[in-house]
Structure 1
Amino acid sequence: MANGVWQFRPSHKLVSLSGVVRTYSRFDTPVAFARGFSILKAIAHAWISKSINPTPRSKEYNIIYPLDYLPVENPEQMQTIDSFVEDMRAALHAKITKFSIREAWKRSHPPSRGTPEYVDDYLINTVARTYYYAFYHSFAAFSEKYAEKHNGKPPYVLPSLQYRWETGAAVSEEQRKNAVQRMDTYKEWLLNAMFGEPTSETETLVVLPIANAAPNYRDEPSQSPHWQSALDQPFLPPILGAPNIAIPIGEVPYASGITKGTEYLPVVIDITPQQMTWSSYKPLKTMELSRQPTTVGTGSRIVQCPKNE
């Protein structure tokens, strides 16, 4: 979001990871960033054109509006997001479904698997005991070799990364297996609750905000998140193994503490379908309907403006 560019992340295991440094096999997949949608689409064609299902002539769309992540704190950002979602509805002749993961879990969680009423309780420690565990072990050999070559001195890493390594190193194999089982149960439930049975006639698109638009100054200390939940928005697509497209949809102004003037932050949303089809690119119709540019500019703003603005 900080860069305000387009992003495409294909479905898990759809693209080869040959030559890519691995961290966690359940989440790892290549990602492409681009300033223009045309470039992103060309990359997608090259990567997965043979794997993408054709789009039926007639298709119904359901837009999931996730109440666990919306609204965001910034009201102007929220207005931009809601306006784009409404344009999506009009462009795709779609219906909008407001959906809460937490409330849906209370109603339909699988009690036969020993799941509690609250999904936050069920998913506690799953990120640390799966992702952090794998993250530590994927770099353990490198750390050991580095220490051998530098008189026992470990490699320097950022405090947030050091925290992940230390947390992952403390996880036992039994804890990891239990967390993987819980994540699998959650994934199976979420696919059914949010997307339902996939059909060739319908497609569900989940709209996700990408962070709250607020200035983050480089000369001020910024704490990295230590405690991460599997319910956090960034983990939704990788847990599902689903593709996602990040779309820059506008800007919001803020009073800069550096320039003492009005500056702008990008507003970006994430569109997550259950599986990749060419109709997953339909949000582009929304850009055309709302007359938004499909190319991101360089400089201090993502939208090109006249010089006197």
Structure 2
Amino acid sequence: MKSLVTCVVAGAQYLLHPQKLGSIQEMINPDSIVPVTLLSTSEIFGDVDGLLRLYDIYDDVFTPEFGSILVEKPEGNSSDLNIVQNAGNMQIQKLYHLGEVATMAGMGELPSGPYFLHGPNLHQAWKLYDDDHEAFTFGVIPEDVNGAEEFRAVNALSSTGTYKSIPVPSRLYRPPPNTRKPLSGLRIAITDTLSLSGVQTTQSSRAWSSLGASVATSTADFVQRLLDLGAIIVGKTKTSQFDAGLDWVDAVQPWNPRADEYQTSRSGSAGAAVALAAYDWVHHSVGHEGIEGIGSSAGSTGVFSMRISDRAVSSAEHDAPGSYHGLSITDRYIVTLYDAVSAIHGLADHPSTLLPTRIIYLLDLLATGPNEQQALNNAFVSSLENYLGIKAEPLSMANTWTEQPPLEANGADMQEYIGDASFRLLCYESYHHFGQFRQEYGNEFHRQPFVEPTVRYRWEIGKLLSHGDADELRGRLDIFRKWFNQTIMPIDSYATSATIMVLPWHMGEPKYRDEKTEPPNAVHGFTAELLATVLGTPYLLVPFAQLPYESRISDNTEYRPFSGSIIGPRGGDLMMLRLVQRAFELADWRSTVDTGRLSFPLGNNSRNVDDQRVRITKPPALSSSRDQLLLSKPQGKIDVAP
């Protein structure tokens, strides 16, 4: 395995991808590291200044320093010049010529853009971003930039040595998203529990990592699908211990960037949500849904999150208990979340997507809270009603169960029949899922592994349940799903009509990361995330407001994001996203969130959102005409490397 080389250009850290892509014909110092721009002959002798300025606007990896030295791709009409001076300004650039050259899969030739010469050899330039919010377990790079079949973890640190650094490639290395590769060039972070060939799964557990046997030898099918669609996997994000812990003992809890920056990022796939809320260089992240999934973290960090239908996810996708294998995609833009989910399902964009004919407003999860939160829940429902032209129906599952119970319940009410069945089944499956780990750790170290109190509590419950008990719990949940589908709303298909269920959101009091966690306890009934997980339905979480509180950390008024949430039928993922997008457009609400302390610019309305300051809904495409961009001319002469 080749060692990794890093360097600094214009104050920013870079990594030279270790794969050699070609060599220049000229002789230079074999130890030198030189930033260069690779261009074709026609690009060099065309409007090279305008092209380099376009690169600087579009690509966060490229800086003007890369444009001081050019490397010419071999063509039939290649030049024999060694300097380029453009008429109209004083800029002079040194010119090298590429001799031996590799080809990029599906592209025929190396794409133009920023590279490094390490001696005479050409390498891709990957920019290193500081993970100063501790969202990532580690960054990754592919061993082969052509294939992305094997990966390696990157252990580079920030310039201060305080944080990990996450490598990202130039946006110029891939074409913009297209029909064949709808995720082309998009940077995606995946949750730690998803397998990625060549790198470790850590479970945020020192004991788990110490066994050293958790390096994946294959990539999860879901992740491979992302890669096949053109995505760039930039790293693995943190989950709480065994996707269940609350205390963050063996790993640093990701830092929620919102409000006073000391609000907890919750448990489960916290790193996936924090990465989107903190870093604009990440386009999407993938998290796990369950009792502690990405839903609560996405809510606390104010990002859009879609739990995709179970038909798109295999139960063996990641290292987590079997009945709780839902995956979510998070984004800062609802329109690009739609694009990503559409690509994952392999569906084209259908403007005539069937819209719901019925809205249910679930009363069972309606918590007593401040009037302003109830008003915001009502405003979210009203936005959907106004777009669809129908009224929501308040509904209680418990009351409906009493009136129309399943025969198998034998007269038991819903709380008695379901109770904590989903929680106990999770405990059983978690205990047995990690049984081999406990055995191997005991054999290796002659002691039991450390696990956090919540994990231990659940394993103790799971230990007491028999295989027959687990089958009974699964049977009860199967009966509940059948009853829900027949009595509450159809969830098995999305064909001729559709019903959606709005789940009221309750934000609770500010939860600071320095506060002691509550003792572990059982989960009775359903949370919003757990209901969708048990049903296997899509679940959409959408931030649309922010509420003030007085922070004991900053001594200032800070703002926390507030969200709405929807459950829909399996296969109705795109319908739900399109519905919210159009409803927000009709209401003149923002359908994008910002990175940093505020999800939205502050506004003077009940939602505390300035809807006038709406950012561009999609990143600009390089294919945009240069004539549409106002490109300023650089002044003066640029020094070149000898």
TM-score when scaled to structure 2? 0.44
Q: Quote how far apart the aligned CAs of 1:94 are.
A: 2.5
Match of 1:122 among 396, 399, 417: 417
Q: Which residue of 2 aligns with 1:39?
A: 336
Q: What CA distance in whole angstroms lies between the structure 2 residues aligned with 1:275 and 1:128?
A: 23
CA contact (8 A) 2:362 2:504 kept: no
Aligned partner of 1:5 in structure 2 is 303
Bigger helix fraction:
1
Correspondence 1:142-161 to 2 at 5 A: 142-152=437-447, 154-161=448-455
Question: Any idea what SS the aligned residue of 1:30 has?
Answer: strand
* Secondary structure in structure 2 of the residue aligned to 1:95: coil
2:593 counterpart of 1:300: no
Contact 1:15–1:47 (Cα < 8 Å) also in 2: no
Q: Rg bigger for which structure?
A: 2
Corresponding position of 2:377: 81
The correspondence of residues 105-144 of structure 1 with structure 2, limited to 5 A, is: 105-110=401-406, 112-144=407-439
Counterpart residue number, 1:15: 313
The one-character-per-residue Cα deviations of 1:227-257 (angstroms, maximum 9, x if unpaired) are 1124333211111110111111111111212
- Letter in structure 2 aligned against 1:167: I
63, 71, 77: which is aligned to 2:359? 63
Q: Secondary structure at the match of 2:561?
A: strand
1:56 CA drift (Å): 5.5
SS at match of 2:575: helix
Deviation at 1:66, TM superposition (A): 0.5
Question: Does the CA contact (< 8 Å) of 1:115 and 1:122 recur in 2?
Answer: no
1:28 to 325, 329, 339: 325
Indicate the RMSD between aligned Cα atoms, in angstroms: 2.5
Whole-angstrom CA distance in 1 between matches of 2:549 and 2:567: 29
Aligned-pair CA distance for 1:205: 0.9
| Letter of the structure 1 residue corresponding to residue 300 of structure 2 | A
Which whole-Å CA distance do the structure 1 matches of 2:569 and 2:317 have between them? 27
> What's the offset of the Cα at 1:140?
1.3
TM-score by length of 1: 0.89
Query: What pairs up with 1:159-308 in 2 under 5 angstroms?
Result: 159-196=453-490, 200-223=495-518, 226-277=521-572, 278-281=574-577, 282-305=579-602
C-alpha offsets along residues 21-75 of structure 1, whole Å, 9 cap, x if unaligned?
A: 2312x3312221222213322220221034x896767755211101101255132
Instruction: Tell me which of 376, 400, 421 is aligned to 1:104.
Output: 400
Q: 1:206 Cα deviation (Å)?
A: 0.9
Q: Distance in 1 between matches of 2:514 and 2:409?
A: 48
Q: 1:251 to 1:225 in 2, by over 3 A?
A: farther
1:301–1:120: structure 2 CA closer, same or farther, 3 Å change rule? same
Corresponding letter in the other structure for 1:169: K
Summarize the Cα distance change of 1:82–1:125 in structure 2 as closer, same or farther, 3 Å threshold: closer
Q: Which moved more, 1:115-124 or 1:57-66?
A: 57-66
Do the aligned residues in 2 keep the contact of 1:56 with 1:200 (CA within 8 Å)? no
Does the CA contact (< 8 Å) of 1:6 and 1:36 recur in 2? yes
User: In the alignment, residue 446 of structure 2 is paired with which amino acid?
Assistant: N
Percent identity between matched residues is 24
Distance 1:144 1:74, change over 3 A: farther
User: Relative contact order: is structure 1 or structure 2 higher (C-alpha 8 Å, sep ≥ 6)?
Assistant: 1
Distance 1:128 1:96, change over 3 A: closer
Higher strand share: 2
